[in-house]
Structure 1
């Protein structure tokens, strides 16, 4: 294989050293002029083509149907190598230079390298899984260098050895901790846990009045304040303990660390943020916690955490922030008589970076709250302080349109379903993703129940409802390659929105109450409304689109939905093209199912 060939790209990045050498010795180079035919239908598969420069189109035998378009670093025709003969025609659209890998070499590697073989599985989920596995081999230096400080340790409950067991148990319950440190007069320190107490009282028959000093475990494994968290985890593992005492420079107790907490810190850093939110007593303290969220997103993404997990975690953090703001601002007397609802990507649990506010309020029918409007205006302004910009469409609790009693919401949903015009469809789509996060959560039935009652199997209304999913063209050329404008490829209009809204429509038809798109897909597959493979491919395509957009947003364009396709490696361009073809087929099935014609 000539040296210019880059084996760092999938699927060649999973070859062994001997397989790389085998390829290097067998690879040849060929040049094709514009219009040349590289493969004819019926040709025996003799070699794998890997484009160095130029472009090739794949067409049907009669030349009337274009299946795909290949460019730099793309490869073809694997089916011909595996099946023996080519089904389609491949012709050069411009002067093209290719690497040629003999079939016998390709097949030898294919049959002996599981990861290499798996890459050519046509199932999008399988191919993206391989990509994710490759990305997870990333540098964990950030975690290795994280130090033990006040932001990540827990307060320690300290007792003297003469405290009776029942008193120590009561103190642990009051402090909501599962252990206590026992300070002896000679300076030694012990520890008593819930397990110690259970064994002492039940198995060993100690009386509740026995001093804790008699049953405490000692000495306690300790680490120093300022040491590396990684060292604390190693010490826990070696000593087979779940907790360590943190001491200051003078050897005095500074706090505690437990193994689940350390593992949480190493995996996401989310534990610290959750503690900051929970401990916030003022809006200013909550702002400080909310400002840490972007760092969490960077950490999760840069360390290869699965996209769906990132979305779930960030959605949970957002809910905690908004719920805390709700409890700080709404008078306690009214909190149990109303329900704060989030919608849009936050309602679906698919928000990663902070986006516009999309929320509503449901009031109990008998609630008398004169200052409601003023409090809601303050709440919307507070969310802005916390990093959630106002909604351009004014879908916020500061807008009286989105604050109604339960009975009013029920009637509103029914009216929207009956009118089924452009604006009502938009409002129904917003409400279909509503998720309660604070107050009396049961009040959400005022929205969900009439939605299901009026739209389940209502094909006439759904015919109008589904149309926005079909409004934007999939960004693929007539040759099946990626289509990009000067701004880039709009992945929201071309990929994300058609999946989200199409799946939303089908879920309303089938009475699926889940708001998360991935959960909706799972339920639709269980109900037989979607083939399982189709649901899996749509799920993987959506995760891919969100991940690619997030990576670009983290690089400096936080509000952009455009992808710079030229910056993507060939393996990701291939996945993106595959994912968009999945969207194209899905839109075709939606149009057929709901009888929508152009």
Structure 2
């Protein structure tokens, strides 16, 4: 018996992507089924017979090792079994069920005639996001940023064995028509000699047999990386070109000017604007340009993780420039300015509150450092970065200390791990040096890792914070929305971003990972075997998608003249596909919370 109006399937993924004739065939093949509470629809290991599209009721899917998932009205159950051939999990009716049932042979026939139908069920969250980004990405900028370096016509890069003379370098560059060359040394490894290096050497030495010293360490990427990664690497290392290694071991050169000539009409060259500033007033336009850059990248489909990485690199460069303008040279040489929070993790989406600190070498005049730190905070405030309401800034003596003072703070926090102490440990875990003596931050981080390794229960107390907020997803995969001021909305930060970010941070602290970026931490944890590859992909995909939704909300705030600090969104304003991805992302969050709870044995905490 079929009671389904064929047009209804046009609103149910992935039937909505079928051509009209195939959708009509699917509707004609559906039967309506009824099952009372407690009935088993499918047993583990039995042959998959069909797909249930729930009209009313709830079905519980139990997968060993992954917990239970509840499916409610509008959702389909049984696809995983149809793809595998046998049922991977037990399906039990949780609440009286009315559903439409599609036979297995029709399911597979639809997939054979229209592969995108089956792909919907095969795709994990990350793959779905890639497909959506590709479908909606428009404009040269997005195509460029996602172009692999292997697809470029790279500049030639001849290779010479060390030692290299001035004559040999000049001849190699001239013969190849190259801008740089690789120098291979059995002991020192590879280095780079640029055309500018050769010209400078020629100006200083008349002897064509003079030996040249190559630049090391070599800054390079694999040909499988994309142009965005190349621009980011150049920006981080203050260079204008880098080496690209091909799979066959050969190399080429990619230059910043060649890339930027293609994107200059889309994005202000903010790094140049920051570099050329000679006073704070010269930096006044950076904030506005940055918002326009982010808006343009987001509008063209560039992923949030790439936008935040770029914004964070520019922000770090801005901090370093401002510090150089307000602090005396002697202090800059005997201290380290560092960032924390989203800035320290390299995940800043737009200009947010300041989170910074200053580490001092032994013997530094602390009064002088305090005055310079206050000038820094004031200058950043003038440039549109508000003071941190919690006082996490270098102008606060708590965050402006010699290394031994900060390590004392770590020991005190570990000795009494509660409240503010746990917050301070989390902030320091994300510390990233941006100016001055980076080894001071490295020494602080080494003490942090050592203390946490000696007191594993502190990590458990930190991990417990992952469970501080409920995941805003109901038992029927509906969204749990807020009341009051944010009625009808959910908080992306509390409900999704924070649990992933902080949980990954605690895992990273447990194994002593130095990376501070959440995506890089996830990748390192995968490499170390702490996360299964598929789960690591899901977790990174969920974090990226939630960031993207938050960025859209922040840009809306900016357009309305509000501070870009809110993390609330209204799911009803998303399209059907976005709501589906949001459910997937929040399910991943909930799965990660269960993993954190189990791994850190949070049930044992008193």
The equivalences for 1:269-284 within 5 A come to: 269-270=266-267, 272-284=269-281
Task: From the superposition, tell whether residues 29 and 118 of structure 1 become closer, same or farther in structure 2 (CA, over 3 Å).
Answer: closer
Tell me the equivalent position of 2:518: 517
Q: Say whether the 8 Å CA contact 2:331–2:369 is kept in structure 1.
A: no
Q: Distance in 1 between matches of 2:373 and 2:529?
A: 43
Aligned partner (choices 368, 374, 389) of residue 371 of structure 1: 368
Tell me the equivalent position of 2:551: 550
Q: Say whether the 8 Å CA contact 1:23–1:101 is kept in structure 2.
A: no
TM-fit CA distance, 1:373: 1.9
Q: Distance in 1 between matches of 2:477 and 2:116?
A: 27
Task: From the superposition, tell whether residues 71 and 332 of structure 1 become closer, same or farther in structure 2 (CA, over 3 Å).
Answer: farther
* Alignment partner of 1:21 is 2:18: no
The equivalences for 1:348-367 within 5 A come to: 348-367=345-364
Q: Say whether the 8 Å CA contact 2:493–2:567 is kept in structure 1.
A: yes
Structure 1, unpaired ranges of 5+: 145-165, 170-177, 180-193, 203-207, 209-256
Tell me the equivalent position of 1:158: none
Q: Say whether the 8 Å CA contact 1:119–1:126 is kept in structure 2.
A: no
The equivalences for 1:557-568 within 5 A come to: 558-568=564-574
* Alignment partner of 1:88 is 2:91: yes
Q: Say whether the 8 Å CA contact 2:73–2:476 is kept in structure 1.
A: no
TM-fit CA distance, 1:342: 0.3
Tell me the equivalent position of 2:262: 263
The equivalences for 1:452-531 within 5 A come to: 452-456=449-453, 458-486=455-483, 487=486, 488-531=489-532
Q: Say whether the 8 Å CA contact 1:9–1:571 is kept in structure 2.
A: no
TM-fit CA distance, 1:14: 6.0
Structure 2, unpaired ranges of 5+: 145-166, 171-178, 181-193, 203-207, 209-255
Q: Say whether the 8 Å CA contact 2:14–2:120 is kept in structure 1.
A: yes
Q: Say whether the 8 Å CA contact 1:9–1:569 is kept in structure 2.
A: no
Aligned partner (choices 583, 587, 597) of residue 593 of structure 2: 587
Deviates more, 1:519-528 or 1:392-401: 519-528
Deviates more, 1:112-121 or 1:562-571: 112-121
- Aligned-partner SS, 2:284: helix
Task: From the superposition, tell whether residues 28 and 321 of structure 1 become closer, same or farther in structure 2 (CA, over 3 Å).
Answer: farther
TM-fit CA distance, 1:432: 0.6
Q: Distance in 1 between matches of 2:396 and 2:282?
A: 27
TM-fit CA distance, 1:393: 0.8
Q: Distance in 2 between matches of 1:311 and 1:282?
A: 26
Q: Distance in 1 between matches of 2:458 and 2:532?
A: 24
TM-fit CA distance, 1:57: 2.2
Q: Say whether the 8 Å CA contact 1:455–1:509 is kept in structure 2.
A: yes
* Alignment partner of 1:532 is 2:533: yes
Q: Distance in 1 between matches of 2:72 and 2:29?
A: 17
- Aligned-partner SS, 2:285: helix
The structure with the largest alpha-carbon Rg is 1
Q: Distance in 2 between matches of 1:331 and 1:197?
A: 31
Q: Say whether the 8 Å CA contact 1:452–1:508 is kept in structure 2.
A: yes
Q: Distance in 1 between matches of 2:579 and 2:39?
A: 23
Tell me the equivalent position of 1:400: 397
Tell me the equivalent position of 1:57: 58
Q: Distance in 2 between matches of 1:47 and 1:37?
A: 20
- Aligned-partner SS, 1:88: strand
Q: What is the TM-score of this pair, normalised by structure 1? A: 0.71
* Alignment partner of 1:430 is 2:427: yes
- Aligned-partner SS, 2:412: helix
Tell me the equivalent position of 2:283: 286
Q: Say whether the 8 Å CA contact 2:336–2:441 is kept in structure 1.
A: yes
Task: From the superposition, tell whether residues 55 and 127 of structure 1 become closer, same or farther in structure 2 (CA, over 3 Å).
Answer: farther
TM-fit CA distance, 1:46: 6.8
* Alignment partner of 1:576 is 2:569: no
* Alignment partner of 1:308 is 2:305: yes
Deviates more, 1:430-439 or 1:365-374: 365-374
Q: Distance in 1 between matches of 2:38 and 2:30?
A: 10
- Aligned-partner SS, 1:512: coil
Q: Say whether the 8 Å CA contact 1:27–1:100 is kept in structure 2.
A: no
RMSD: 4.0
TM-fit CA distance, 1:507: 1.2
Q: Distance in 2 between matches of 1:419 and 1:142?
A: 49
Aligned residues: 485
Q: Distance in 2 between matches of 1:584 and 1:78?
A: 21
Aligned partner (choices 423, 438, 442) of residue 441 of structure 1: 438
Tell me the equivalent position of 1:184: none
- Aligned-partner SS, 2:122: coil
Q: Distance in 2 between matches of 1:78 and 1:343?
A: 44
Q: Distance in 2 between matches of 1:142 and 1:424?
A: 43
Q: 1:122-152, CA deviations, whole angstroms, 9 ceiling, x for partnerless residues?
A: 633333333333332x3669999xxxxxxxx
Tell me the equivalent position of 1:382: 379
Deviates more, 1:366-375 or 1:469-478: 366-375
Q: Distance in 1 between matches of 2:478 and 2:260?
A: 47
Q: 1:195-226, CA deviations, whole angstroms, 9 ceiling, x for partnerless residues?
A: 89999xx9xxxxx9xxxxxxxxxxxxxxxxxx
Q: Distance in 1 between matches of 2:196 and 2:455?
A: 61
TM-fit CA distance, 1:49: 5.8
